[in-house]
Amino acid sequence: MRTRRDFIERVAAYGGSATAVLTALDLLEPASASAPLALEGSGRGTRVIILGAGVAGLCSAYELGKAGYDCTVLEARERPGGRVWTVRTGTRHVESDGSAQTAAFPEGAYFNPGPARVPQHHVTMDYYREFGVPIEQFANVNLNAYYFSSQGSAELQRVRMREAKYAIAGYTAELLAKAVSQSALDTPLTREDKEKLLDFLAANGGLNKAYAYVNDGAAGFSELPAAGNQAGTPADPLDLMSLIRGGFGAYFQNEREFNQQPVMFQPVGGIDALPYAFARRLRERVRYGCAVTEIRKTPGGVRVAYTGIRGRSESIEGAYCICTIPLPVLRTIPADFSPNVRASMNRVAYMDSAKIALAFKRRFWEEDDRIMSGISRTDQTIAQIWYPSYGFFGRSGGVLTGAYATGAAARTIGDLAPRDRSELALRQGAAIHPQYGDEFLSAFSVAWQKTPHNMGAWVAWTPETRKNDYPVLSEPDGAIYLAGEHMSYINAWQAGALESARDVVRRLHARVRAA
């Protein structure tokens, strides 16, 4: 039981506003995953060396800088952002096997090979607001996009998402309705409960009076409603067994994930808007083209050696180090990590992932297929086709993400030369969009497991490594703290990197103040 005094104290603790009253009563859900970052006191005079200018490193430098810390960020690339990267015409990419590509896109088109969508509840949104980064909606789910199953029957390979989605929902409701009517369910339902449940199933599944699935139009029309005598004809429902055998149901998992639910957002003009917003504020605190070659513990903290201007070896010292270098790269750098930290680092696995951008002369997906943004899915190696959520009806064509694969499919793509990746994406994608052949302009692909300074897409914790190794890597090793998406429970998201940075900043600051 909550006492009056307890309640008043809680309201006071939250600042006494109407929001505070609701929060104290537990009537509001948490607005964000972690508390606001308000560092009390100054870190003036404390030098922190930050390794990596991805969003974790940039956020660490930015937040510590607010509290007066003296931060230097070393970045191997010539740009900020790390995986938070936008490819535009002229962007060059060289993978670890030496294969080189240069992007050539239609005017105004871009491609985000890494992160490309942001859920509303992520801390990423707070930084967009803080920096005034313009954002727009990103369509993750478009029921007018396609599912394509290569295992499907000849008649049932390419379907609109709404056809598969509502047929599966309808047949499931139909089966359940049958079970309820026949009292086949071992539940204590009264007659009234049963009627209510049947009503609910009928409404939700689009069932007729006999509780059979019929397409009421939700699954699409064979003739669209218009004027005159054109009332519209709902398409015949897809056949349940064909849907099941074609594996169409398997594609629905993604959109039911907490982090993938509509609506989602993207910065206008490219996902790199956030790293550039950080970088503009940090200015010369970020040193580009500086690849870390050694990380050493010293009596006073840390010394980091790096390859600086014209390949010259340089070094820098600090009281603390925040290291955001992805583990597949970090474990190859000579460093004074404790044996247990090194052992944990070596056990953690990373995911492989690849995307292939395809530039086209014409926005045929919009003109011919009426697919305005969203994602088509398929069981082929390319896995997904993403239609741009910007530049609608653009006259100079556009860029699709013609493949977005993870795991084994990403390895298949990654092992190919860029030209063969493009050929694969065109061949498989043409089964969904026969227009591919006529409209193709150019391709640009990124396999993260072969991308220097990453050598992996994102961390892949297993129950064992999360239990045994995550806690080890979460503790500072002397003056060295690890940060990045891998050091969070929001893996493969910018929010994981940002939350991890904020967590390390909080802990480092508490330690400095206690010292």
Q: 290 or 455, CB closer to ligand PHE?
A: 455
Least Å distance between CB 474 and ligand PHE?
21
Pair 252, 161: CB distance under 8 Å: no
Least Å distance between CB 283 and ligand PHE?
30
Q: 149 or 353, CB closer to ligand PHE?
A: 353
Least Å distance between CB 5 and ligand PHE?
44
DSSP string, 70-129: EEEEE-SSSSSBTTS--B-TT-EEE-TT--EEE----TT--B-SS---EETTSHHHHHHH
Pair 363, 431: CB distance under 8 Å: no
Structure tokens at 230: 């054109």
Least Å distance between CB 96 and ligand PHE?
22
Least Å distance between CB 56 and ligand PHE?
15
Least Å distance between CB 493 and ligand PHE?
5
Q: Are strands 440-447 and 100-102 parallel, antiparallel or unpaired?
A: unpaired
Q: 206 or 275, CB closer to ligand PHE?
A: 275
Exposure string for 235-274, b = 16+ CB within 10 A, e = fewer? bebbebebbeebebeebbeeeeeebeeeebbbbeebbbbb
Least Å distance between CB 319 and ligand PHE?
34
Least Å distance between CB 472 and ligand PHE?
24
DSSP string, 18-56: HHHHHHHTT-S--SSSS------S--TT-EEEEE--BHH
Q: 157 or 259, CB closer to ligand PHE?
A: 259
Q: 324 or 406, CB closer to ligand PHE?
A: 406
Cα separation of 321 and 442, whole Å?
A: 42
Return the closest-CA partner of residue 63 out of 134, 133, 130: 130
Q: 85 or 171, CB closer to ligand PHE?
A: 85
Q: How far apart are the first and last CA of the chain?
A: 40
Residue 207, C-beta contacts closer than 8 angstroms, at least 6 positions apart: 170, 173, 174, 177, 201, 213, 214
Q: 101 or 406, CB closer to ligand PHE?
A: 406
Pair 498, 123: CB distance under 8 Å: yes
Q: Which residue is nearest to ligand PHE (CB)?
A: 492
Pair 212, 189: CB distance under 8 Å: no
Least Å distance between CB 140 and ligand PHE?
8
Structure tokens at 387: 């239609």
Rg (CA), the chain: 26
Cα separation of 200 and 192, whole Å?
A: 12
Amino acid at 8: I
Least Å distance between CB 462 and ligand PHE?
16
Cα separation of 107 and 114, whole Å?
A: 21
Q: 67 or 405, CB closer to ligand PHE?
A: 405
Q: 117 or 362, CB closer to ligand PHE?
A: 117
Q: 271 or 505, CB closer to ligand PHE?
A: 271
Eight-state DSSP code of residue 462: -
Cα separation of 398 and 325, whole Å?
A: 34
Least Å distance between CB 68 and ligand PHE?
34
Pair 413, 356: CB distance under 8 Å: yes
Q: 6 or 257, CB closer to ligand PHE?
A: 257
Q: 117 or 377, CB closer to ligand PHE?
A: 117
Element spanning 442, H or E = strand 440-447
Binding stretches for ligand PHE (CB under 6 A): 117, 257, 259, 492-493
Cα separation of 355 and 444, whole Å?
A: 9
Structure tokens at 292: 């870390």
Least Å distance between CB 324 and ligand PHE?
17
Q: 130 or 257, CB closer to ligand PHE?
A: 257
Least Å distance between CB 107 and ligand PHE?
27
